[in-house]
Structure 1
Amino acid sequence: MELNRPETVAEVERAFIAYEKALVDNDVATMNALFWHAPETVRYGIAEVQHGGEEIRRWRETCAPVPRSRRLHRTVVTTFGVDYACVSTEFTSDATPLLGRQMQTWARIGDASNAFAGWTIVAAHVSLIEAP
């Protein structure tokens, strides 16, 4: 298996940046398009848990948007072969003194001809901790 193939890393980075922009812009349609819509999808949020794409979509319709002041730090994209990746990042915002942490598991399971080369989030975890 090839680790961190440059073209695969670039594809995942593009998809991740698109997701992050959608998150800050509260673009629910794009966020939904980038999350796998399947019963196996899991999202652990700061104060909630969703199991399955349908639960994630219902939650997104009513959740508060992230602060526009959100800033990413120390983002790491690691790819395994050409169809699997993990993206880890830290984030801060004016809304809290806490440090946010976010991990996403991406898989190329969608239509490879779409704008995101088929990359889809299949699992995610978000948490907040006291800043070190």
Structure 2
Amino acid sequence: MTINDPVLLEEVTAAFMEYERALMEDDIPAMDALFHEAPTTNRYGVGEVLYGIEEIREFRKGRGGSPQRKLGKVSIVVYGETCATADAEFFRENSERRGRQTQTWVKFAEGWKVVSAHVSLEGSTH
């Protein structure tokens, strides 16, 4: 198995950065387009547990946008031709607290999609 094929790594990195842009601009259609449209797509957030793309979409519609943040260290690894992970540290505006985000990406016919995501803040007790 090839790890970090340069072409695929570039593709996943571009998808990851497009998601970050969409998140910061509250571009819901773009965020939705980057998540796999399936009941098996899940997202655990700082205060929510969402099973399936429909729950994720409903959360985004009612959220009113993400708190603004800056990325810290980002690690993207591509395994073979169709699977990748993206791990990122982030820092919300006006906070020293470090956040962490993990995404699992799978390459489908229509491109790279998030199939699982987890967001947490360092020091959270729940």
| TM-score band, normalised by shorter chain | over 0.9
Counterpart position of 1:65: 65
CA-CA distance at 1:96 after TM superposition: 3.0
Counterpart position of 1:49: 49
Contact map agreement 1:75 1:90 (CA 8 A) in 2: yes
AA matched with 1:124: A
Counterpart position of 2:73: 74
Provide the secondary structure at the position in 2 that maps to 1:96: coil
Q: How does 1:76-91 map to 2 (within 5 A)?
A: 76-91=75-90
| Inter-partner Cα distance in structure 2 for 1:55 and 1:18 | 22
Instruction: State the aligned residue count.
Output: 123
- Structure 2: state its 5+ residue gaps: none
CA-CA distance at 1:67 after TM superposition: 2.8
List structure 1 segments (4+ residues) > 4 angstroms apart after TM superposition.
none
Counterpart position of 2:112: 119
CA-CA distance at 1:34 after TM superposition: 0.4
| Inter-partner Cα distance in structure 1 for 2:22 and 2:109 | 18
C-alpha distance after superposition, 1:33-65 (max 9, x if no partner): 001111111100010010001110111100132
Counterpart position of 1:101: 100
Structure 2 length as normaliser, TM-score?
0.93
Counterpart position of 1:7: 7
CA-CA distance at 1:110 after TM superposition: 4.1
| Inter-partner Cα distance in structure 1 for 2:85 and 2:33 | 18
